[in-house]
Amino acid sequence: MNTIGIICEYNPFHNGHAHQLHILAKQSPQSLRICIMSGAFVQRGEPALFSKFDRARWAVCNGADVVIELPALFSLGSAQYFATGAIRMVKALAIDTLSFGTETTNLAAFQKAARYIDSESTQTALRTYMQEGLSYSSALRKALMQYQNSSIDDIISSPNAVLGLEYIRAALTYHNDLHYLPILRTSDHHAPSVNQNLPSGTALRRAVTEGESITSYIPATISGDIRQQIQQGHYVDYTRYEDMLHTLSRRMTPEALSAFGDFSEGIEPLWSRAALQPTWKESIDTIKSKRYTYARLQRMGAYLALGITKSSLHESQKQGPQYARLLAFNDRGRQWLQQEYNIPIIQKWAKASALLSDFGRTMHHIDTIATDIQSLCFRNPSMRKGHTDYTYTPQYIR
């Protein structure tokens, strides 16, 4: 069975995502479209705006055949670890092709640049730039500039292209026979306003939280559904999440902080002092530097909120995904679900523990906490119930 994997967040689902799925359906109508989607928390280091259950439904209503949750241990990782976890799941589920949105579709340049990353000269330069205080992504871009290749320069200057590069790099190790279908992206990945035909997720999240309409940028098939979720307050109030992080940071000693993911290099005392600032934003403004970007600090905050330790992250990188949690599917997806794969496909959350290894149960526990924390941050108090993972049945969209 031909399958196309799409690694995604859909935070929130919009016309650009529908466009990609439409293009894939047109180019390869017989192939199943399997979305591996971040769950309650996303790679920018915070809860997704809408629940994973809603986002999965919206994806299937617009051309996806199956939506699988990417565990939080991977969805919260840097570009390298996010990509590696997702690609290992692609491999475990026997997906043969990967599609991703990018500002350049020069596949040969992608593959050449991916091979360059693990060369001795690139790794040496990368370590040097990071020792000088650059973040990983900035150091990687600078390290690859040594090759003076215009097509590679196009890749490293584009945010989505860099993530695509990390997918291919991970596949060279974990899924070497993977095929690729890059889809040209024409909108600005981080544009702050909704003044484009295909606006960014950043702009749409801001619009929702500020009470602006996003109907023009959402597929008609789900616009009513999204509007209802917004009217019911079934989306995250980020001030609640920030206050939670601020509270946790104030009660943690530097010694306690050192156990959590990405806390290193003596940043713990600085983090504790920064927590004395009046707001979470002022706290991270105090810490932010070339090495500690806002994205990295947000991820560190998420590790603190979810109790993700260095040892859990290390084990996740060693073992990879332990299960594939099914969120939504259609008739075509039902056929795919009848097959067996290298990791169990979880449909009933309460029954998952019996199928999992010890570390699989750790991963399961963290995903449960992630959903519970996101729920606690919803704007509507009636939506803040815990353990909704245990009451959820995968959505069958006819």
Residues making up the annotated binding site for ATP are 7-20, 101, 160, 185
Of residues 347, 41, 11, 367, the one with CA closest to residue 190: 11
Structure letter (DSSP) for residue 236: B
**Exposed / middle / buried, residue 26 (Cβ in 10 Å: 0-12, 13-18, 19+):** exposed
**Closest-CA residue to 115 (of 169, 63, 164, 156):** 169
Rounded distance between C-alpha atoms, residue 300 and residue 131, angstroms: 20
DSSP 8-state assignment for residue 50: S
d(CA 54, CA 214): 16
Residue list, annotated binding site: 7-20, 101, 160, 185
User: Rounded to an integer, what is the distance from CA 88 to the centroid of its chain?
Assistant: 14
Name the strand (E) or helix (H) holding 44: none
| Selection from 141, 146, 142, 170 nearest residue 74 by Cα | 170
| Cβ atoms within 10 Å, residue 232 | 13
Structural element, H or E, at residue 3: strand 3-8
Grouping H, G, I as helix, E, B as strand and the rest as coil, residue 384 is coil
What is the DSSP code (8-state) at residue 250? H
- Name the nearest CA neighbour of 34 among 327, 395, 356: 327
List beta partners, residue 199: none
**Run of H or E including 376:** helix 358-376
